[in-house]
Amino acid sequence: MCGLMLNDPASPPPHPLTPCIGVCRLDERGYCIGCLRTGDEIARWRGLSDSERLHMMQEILPLRGTP
């Protein structure tokens, strides 16, 4: 047994690496009104590494304003 408990209440659930909140429509700037990504960024999202996604979510998207 590896010692990992799947339902361990002390372990936080895995954080999804997506800013999507299910409100998907581009505004006049070309940003999604839900997550602030461009259509191209949304299309490429699955191909990004976790570190690239985190960089977008922590550094790039906050500069675009509040969705």
Count H helices, E strands: the chain?
A: 2, 0
CA distance 57 to 51: 10
Tell me the whole-structure pTM to 2 decimals: 0.72
The predicted-structure confidence for 5-21, as pLDDT tens digits, reads as follows: 455 566 655 666 899 99
Cβ atoms 44, 52 nearer than 8 A: no
Side-chain half-sphere CA neighbours of 44 within 13 A:
10
Query: What backbone torsions phi and psi does residue 60 show, to the nearest 5 degrees?
Result: -85, -55
What share of the chain has pLDDT > 70, as a percent? 73
